[in-house]
Amino acid sequence: MVIIRAKAPLRISFGGGGTDVSPYMEERGGAVISATIDKYAYCSLARRDDELVNVTSLDYNLVAKYPLNGKLVYDGKLDLVKAATKVMGIKNGVDLFLHSDMPPGSGLGSSSTMTVALVGALGHWLRLSLSDYDIAELAYRIERQEAGIIGGKQDHYAASFGGFNFIEFLGEKTIVNPLRIKAEIINELEYRLMLCYTGKTRLSAGIIADQVRSYTEKKEDVVRALDETKALAISMKNALLLGQIDEFGCLMDQAWLCKKKFSSKMTDLHIDELYDVAKQNGAVGGKLLGAGGGGYLLLLCEFDKRHILAQKLEERGGKVVNFAFEFNGLRTWEVSTK
């Protein structure tokens, strides 16, 4: 039996998140800067001899089966798989095994990255010739348009392309600008950046819906915060290319202040406390990853305070997670089993 596997990297978004969400990105244009890390979403696929899709999801501790010729119901249970098999025109039954290195709701783009892994495995099986742009757009269509899961566009592109990217959303067009960061700058970032789990995951849809509602109502503070967030993403790109690491951290801090204006659900007392502790114990700057409400804080530390900062955060219930940067995007391969 031949098994097809796919792995796609999760990402950390340094700045610009929120400007990749409709209708802001179509009306005013968005920009984000992000990098992929050595945490992944995985999909394994094996063909069946019937017309059933059998899915095992470790992340949700769920096993489900549905017929390809039946009416699909998007009920919150494996909607990404249902949407992917429909959009990609799957006619033969498959077994799918899904899991991720980080939990859903982590702020690391796990849902969109899993969609990219699904597209990769199904596309490999169907022998489709898909570019990185094709994969990202197909994953976006599956998750946002077909499954109706509200959210942004950056994660699909980050997972598909991999590496450090400055991504522009210009109306219907998306442009990925790979960043050529010097090796010593990357090493310094890995040395001084810290991921801290806040202790809880969150559902991003409600927070993003709140942001979208405020934007469509043209609330001045939210529109201004989104515009400033986009400008900060450009400044972050420049600081990173120039090797201005401390300036980069200060810009992350400014970006977090802007992001908190998107929605009242963006943060809570515990997250604010962790961030304050970080700033008081050696963090130059940082931000909450993803849509907000939980998940991971990304912090840039003074090099000689990292161990102190880690201790203080864990005393307050945080959990520090090690990571390194990943420079490859989606990868697929086959393996034969007896």
Active site positions, annotated? 155
Give, for 175, the enclosing helix (H) or strand (E): strand 173-178
CA proximity to 204, closest of 116, 295, 113, 83:
295
Report CA-CA distances (Å) from 132 to 15, 145, 159: 22, 19, 9
Yes or no: say if 162 and 9 are a contact pair by the CB < 8 Å rule.
yes
Yes or no: say if 11 and 42 are a contact pair by the CB < 8 Å rule.
no
DSSP string covering 281-324, please?
Answer: TTEEEEEE-TTSSSSEEEEEEPTTTHHHHHHHHHHTT-EEE---
Yes or no: say if 75 and 149 are a contact pair by the CB < 8 Å rule.
no
Q: What whole-number distance in Å separates Cα of residue 198 and Cα of residue 296? A: 6
Q: How many Cβ atoms from other residues are within 10 Å of residue 205's Cβ?
A: 14
Q: Rounded to the nearest 5°, which phi and psi values hold at 210?
A: -65, -45
Query: Distance between alpha carbon 333 and the CA centroid of its chain, in Å?
Result: 23
Report CA-CA distances (Å) from 223 to 18, 226, 231: 11, 5, 13
Q: What whole-number distance in Å separates Cα of residue 296 and Cα of residue 287? A: 9
